[in-house]
Amino acid sequence: MDYKPGICTFCGTGCGHFLKVSQSGVDGVFPSRNHPVSRGRLCVRGWNIHELLSTTDRNTTPMVKKSGTFQPVTYEEAITEAVNSLKKFLPGETAFLASPRSSNEENYLFMKMARSVFGTNNISTDTESGHRNSLDVLNEGTGFPGMTGSIGDIQKSEVLLVAGMDITRQNPIIGSELHMASMNGATLVTLDSRTTQIARLSDTFYRINPGSMKVLFNALASAMVANNLYDKSFVEKNTENYNEFIESIQAVDIESGAKKSGLTVEELTRLAELLTKSKSAMSFFTSGISGLDRDTIGSIYNVFLLAGKIGKEGCGVNPIAGINNLQGSFDTGCAPDLLTGFQSLADQKVRTKFESAWQQALPADGGFDFDTMMKNGSVKALVVTDHDDGIIKYRDSLDSVEYIVYIGAFRNDFQDYAHVVLPITSYIETDGTYTNTERRVQLSSKKMDGDANVMPGWKLLQTIANKAGANWNYTSPSDVMNEISQLTPTYSGITYDRLSTSFGLQWPCNTSKPDGTIRYSLESAPRKPLFVKISMDTDIPSVTDKFPYLLMMGKAQHYWHQNNLMHKTHIPLREYNATLLLYPDGYVEIHPDDAKKLGVRDRWSVRVVSAGGDMEIMAKVSDEVAPGRAYIPYFIRDMITAFLSKHIDAVEKGEDATIPVRIEKV
Amino acid sequence: MYIIKKNDILNLAKELAKDHTMYGPVVEDSTGQAFFDRVDNIDDIDMAAPIPTLPPKHVLFPHMETIMQYRYDADQKKAEITGVFDESRKALFGLRPCDLEGILCMDRFFLGQEFVDDWYREHRSRMFIVTNTCIAPFKQCFCVCTDSGPDAKEGYDINLTDIGQYYLVETGSKKGEDLAKAMNLDKAAEEHSREKTVRVEKSITLFEDIAVENKAWISRVMNRVTTGFIDEAVWEFIGDQCFECGACTYVCPSCTCFNVVDINRKDGESLRLRTWDSCSYEGYSRMAGGHNPRKPVEDRRNKRFFCKLSYSQSKKYLRPGCVGCGRCAWVCPGDIGLPNVVTYIRREISK
């Protein structure tokens, strides 16, 4: 048989697939019918993944930049050059940028290398603002830093609430699960500022005002309390600090909150009733680069706790990761203040455990994430692994960075800024595990030999570490996983042997939960859940005479995250071009009524002007946006650097990001 | 007509394996999923395996295939172009009748019209086909409604039917007859062929429980699709559920659309690839210059079902484009596999 089982590594859903591996390479893919997550389905990206895996646009030889141009060299020379150069910088000036695409093993070794070999806690992915907010809220609330429900529970839930996420585009197979559940009788509710596909498929769709998600959820919580539409006995029995929360939420004005978000008080009350009176309910929102801010996530979580819809079957607050191993990159400690499994670096006991396992003192001072360091210009040396094109957004601020090492399987435009490029094999040419959005750790086994001259990531990292003075002796990725399980309570029951005979294990997986954990449950939780403290401010972005449109941002299916990988495919690339050839410089979506007012037609140029800057862009006339609103899919690269970089604060709100603008006919 | 003892059935495959690359129904160990794929070991062929999730289409029309290679020599100002063909002899063993009908549809597309596709022809011309009658339908099947089963009527070299202790061996070509003779198979008696009739009749009656409202309405829906009297709102309802993933096309035994791309490899060699394509993709019908006659997703869905369920399209295939295998319903992230679409249209007709 030529079809080999594996997992898709595009988004955080973690679908099962088979790759057709022949002598010529990977030339086909087929969905896995018995896989518990995808159950025989794949999306447009997954159905064409073989096109990416057979690209020749790969890094195949180590390169060192000599007088401005890259020269092919041996690994020995490149690694020696990289290590000697990196050693010249202080730990505080050195940043390690991990990738949410790398395997758990690669990310763990990368993190270990940053801390124990180069002595810095400046280790992060560049998705801090998104998924980290989700994990922080859930950790503060429940002590469970991951999706509290699971994908399999969707079919067991009575009410499914999608909060501002274009889920059928971003994580299509989870979107499919929601649609299937709705066809089977569950009530599907979508809150969004745009009429997305999931909005059209919903039983109820509320087109809310841009940037009003938090205001809406706080008003909803207030309405639940005021009308006694919350699960009082659940809250009193199962939660701590509810008195404090109820007191604070009562101060939120329901009527003004409803008005600001674009709902009526009756609609808000109906929603309260639906969430509380149903047996089970789940919420879904995007997590990652375009994730929501902490307060908004907290407001969603608090409503679900108030409705008694956390810790039970068919319930949960579910941040949906955009990238395949985003959850895993946090699980493996790729954050300045975290070690593996969300263990705090500040915890002396944890530090001692790692220090004795690694036989190396850990740096004491807390590190910084890459985004923060780039903003304050403190990065002098940078080590980056396999990244999407999004990283290119930093190119204009790279002047202060003196030395860059890029490690990656696929060619990426960012590597042109590097001084040393180190190739690694792609994910099918070595073993590795990936943790999907529902905490499912899955093994992707090696399916073919890569270029004989290219090292797998784990081996390369070990070689670099040893060159820099460490003494690592891993003989396989499985060895690395054994070390992760020893040091990580939530991963302690996970081994390659167990993964190879299953469709993955959901953490926590340990002696008390040997088969993993489907969902966070009240019974087995070490403590009661807490309401999360959030700001109750009710400011929402509003239009002025000068800036009468609210501009929103979002992802698009084929090109999410300005995806470097999609460039290397044919069909998904064509699908992207279907849009981009029509709108070569990107587009701003406006309502037909507004187009009429402005005197423009589809594909005419307009100027979008904000308080921070302006750009010329084509209009796409569509009734998916409401009048007075405008929408830009933020996959269009130049727009990010030129325009959005002036609105970093707004962009950090992710999918809820909103900028007041004026639109002029050009 | 001949018979062969049930336990000896793979001897037939072993004989073919002497000069053919063998493909057959196999169940993947770790996931329990049935495929119709290349087999390394004949004993892996599982004649009782459920209908393979992957139809045999990929053997003749691969998901992605290099069809041409070229290199330009700048010094000599010469280009060297080579067609790349797969000339191996292939045997498809234990093919289900619906999948054979899929191949016959592909034959009519790739070979039977104005143009003959050389690449398809090379895959196809040395092929040996052994079909396996479905003496019981699988849950999602509806071949009786699309005239493609449960037994194969034409196009096979050998057709097998499980008649208890034996398989009935019917030959459909000289190649098939030669093989049966070379293996010295026993002649079938009349009771054997009668037993086949009984079993096929039995199989057809079993459809009554599974091919209910949706599937049984196929001929009526074909009439409706052909005449174009379906309310726009029905197509919109269907279009809203399309995730534009391409799965229905990719698993369809009779879908033949493809994309052609040229790849300039780093080593100077250029490759021309042919890959599967799907009418569900927006870029599929976009023309040079940007106009797209089927831009809204519901128009693209409408196209698919016109292809599968209209008389005009049937004229090209000499049968309906749908072969009743039910795979599109398995893989659809929306709920618009063909049987459901029939239901949606039926609801409108019944109104």
pLDDT 10s digits, B273-320: 999 999 999 889 888 877 888 888 888 888 899 999 999 888 888 899
Average of per-residue pLDDT across A533-560: 79
Binary contact (B334, A575; C-beta < 8 A) = no
> Among B62, B241, B282, whose Cβ lies nearest the Cβ of A28?
B62
Whether the CB of B66 is below 8 Å from some CB of chain A: the reply is yes
Phi-psi region at A336: left, alpha or beta (left = phi > 0; alpha = psi -120 to 50): alpha
A14 pLDDT band (50/70/90 cuts)? very high
Q: How many angstroms separate the CA atoms of A314 and A149, rounded?
A: 7
Q: What is the DSSP letter of B205?
A: H
Contact B66 A24 (CB under 8 A): yes
pLDDT range class, residue A104, cuts 50, 70, 90: very high
Structure tokens given for B318: 């000499």
Question: What's the confidence (pLDDT) of residue A277?
Answer: 96
- Decide the pairing of beta strands A204-207 and A281-287: unpaired
Angle at A65 between CA A64 and CA A70, to 5 degrees: 85
User: How far, in Å, CA of A71 to CA of A522, rounded?
Assistant: 58
Mean pLDDT of B251-257: 96
Q: Indicate if the pLDDT at residue A567 is higher than 60.
A: yes
Q: Could you tell me the two tokens for B75?
A: 């010094």
Q: How far is CA A438 from the centre of its chain?
A: 12
Q: How far apart are CA A569 and CA A467, in angstroms?
A: 36
For A258-274, b/e burial (b = at least 16 CB within 10 A) is: bbbbbbeeebbbbbbeb
pLDDT for A586 equals 78
Structure tokens given for A472: 């690592």
B263/A183 CB distance under 8 A: no
Query: What pLDDT does A611 receive?
Result: 84
Tell me the backbone φ, ψ of residue B209, rounded to 5 degrees: -80, -30
Q: What is the mean pLDDT of chain B?
A: 92
As a whole number, mean pLDDT of residues B192-200 equals 96
For residues B96 and A475, give the distance between their C-alpha atoms in angstroms, rounded to a whole number.
46
Average pLDDT over residues A216-233: 96
Give the amino acid at A616: E
Angstrom distance (rounded) from CA A512 to CA A489:
11
% of chain A residues with pLDDT over 70: 93
Q: Which of residues 499-518 of A touch B (CB under 8 A)?
A: 500-501
**Span A467-526, pLDDT tens digits:** 999 999 999 999 999 999 999 999 999 999 999 999 999 999 999 999 999 999 999 899
Q: Which residues pair with A192 in a beta bridge?
A: A207
| pLDDT grade for A374, boundaries at 50, 70 and 90 | confident
Q: Evaluate the CA torsion angle A599, A602, A605, A609 in order and state its sign.
A: positive
Contact check, Cβ <8 Å, A27/B332:
no
pLDDT tens profile A575-610? 877 677 778 777 889 999 999 999 999 989 999 998
Show contacts of A16-23: CB within 8 Å, 24+ apart: A16/A503, A16/B31, A17/A42, A17/A46, A17/A49, A18/B28, A18/B33, A18/B35, A19/A49, A19/A50, A19/A53, A19/A428, A19/A447, A20/A50, A20/B58, A20/B63, A21/A428, A21/A447, A21/A448
Write the pLDDT tens digit of every residue in A237-265. Answer: 999 899 999 999 999 999 999 999 999 99
* Cβ–Cβ under 8 Å, residues B297 and B239: yes
Q: What is the pLDDT of residue A383?
A: 96
How far is B326 from chain A, CA to nearest CA, in Å? 13
Tell me: the pLDDT tens digits for A34-52? 999 999 999 999 999 999 9
- Distance of alpha carbon A643 from the chain centroid: 23
Inspect the interface and report whether the beta carbons of B335 and A43 lie closer than 8 Å: no
Tokens of A216: 């809406």
> What pLDDT, in 10s, does the model give residues A173-202?
999 999 999 999 999 999 998 899 999 999
> Is A2 in CB contact (< 8 Å) with chain B?
yes
Q: Which two tokens stand for residue A219?
A: 């008003």
What percentage of chain A reaches a pLDDT higher than 90?
A: 72
Per-residue b/e over B31-69, b at no fewer than 16 CB within 10 Å?
A: bebbbbbbbeebebbbbebebbbbbbbbbbbbbbbbbbe
pLDDT-derived band at A413, boundaries 50, 70, 90: confident
Q: For position B74, what pLDDT does the model report?
A: 85
**A266-281 pLDDT tens trace:** 999 999 999 999 999 9
> How many whole angstroms separate alpha carbon A493 and alpha carbon A515?
8
Task: Give yes or no for residue A127 having a pLDDT over 70.
Answer: no
pLDDT surpassing 80 at residue A562: no
Reply yes or no on whether the pLDDT at B166 is more than 90. Answer: yes
**Of all helices (H) and strands (E), which one includes residue A255?**
helix A254-261
Q: Would you call B28 and A5 a contact, using CB atoms and an 8 Å cutoff?
A: yes
* Residues contacting residue B221 through CB under 8 Å, at least 6 positions apart: B309, B342, B345, B346, B349
Per-residue confidence (pLDDT) for residue A625, from 0 to 100: 87
DSSP A563-605: -TTGGG-SHHHHHHHHHHTTSTT-EEEE-HHHHHHHT--TT-E
The more confidently predicted of residues A655 and A379 is A379
Q: Closest by alpha carbon to A367, among A57, A48, A107, A122?
A: A122
pLDDT digits (tens, 9 = 90+) for B3-25: 999 999 999 999 999 999 999 99
- Tens of pLDDT along B52-96? 999 999 999 999 999 999 998 889 999 999 999 999 999 999 999
Distance between CA atoms of residues A307 and A230, nearest Å:
5
- For residues B217-245, give the mean pLDDT: 90
- Residue where the block lists tokens 């037939």: B12
Q: Is the ipTM of this complex over 0.85?
A: yes
Flag if B63 and A179 touch (Cβ within 8 Å). Answer: no
* Residue A52: closest CA among A568, A567, A572, A576: A568
Please list every residue in chain B whose beta carbon sits closer than 8 Å to the beta carbon of residue A18: 28, 33, 35
Q: What average pLDDT does this structure show over A54-81?
A: 94
- In the prediction, which pLDDT does B295 show? 81
Q: Is the pLDDT of residue A358 over 60?
A: yes
Residues 6+ positions from A177 with CB-CB distance below 8 Å: A151, A154, A155
pLDDT at position A538: 79
For residues A632 and A147, the model is more confident at A147
Written as one letter, the residue type at B331 is V
Which pLDDT does position A573 carry in this prediction?
Answer: 85
Supply A57's token pair: 């646009």
Q: Which domains does chain A have, with CATH numbers?
A: 3-53 (3.30.200.210), 63-127+326-506 (3.40.50.740), 129-321 (3.40.228.10), 549-665 (2.40.40.20)
Confidence class for position A641, pLDDT limits 50, 70, 90: low
Say what the pLDDT of residue B195 is: 96
Which is more confident, B285 or A62?
Answer: A62
Residue of B nearest to A20 (CA): B63
In this prediction, residues A339-365 reach a mean pLDDT of 94
Mutate to test the interface with A, among B41, B58, B69, B244 (most CBs of A within 10 A): B244
Q: Which of A371-380, A415-424, A543-552, B110-119 has the highest mean pLDDT?
A: A415-424
Q: Do A40 and B65 touch (CB under 8 A)?
A: no
The residues pairing with A240 across neighbouring beta strands, listed in sequence order, are A530
Q: Which residue has the higher pLDDT, B334 or A611?
A: B334
Mean of pLDDT values over A410-424 = 91
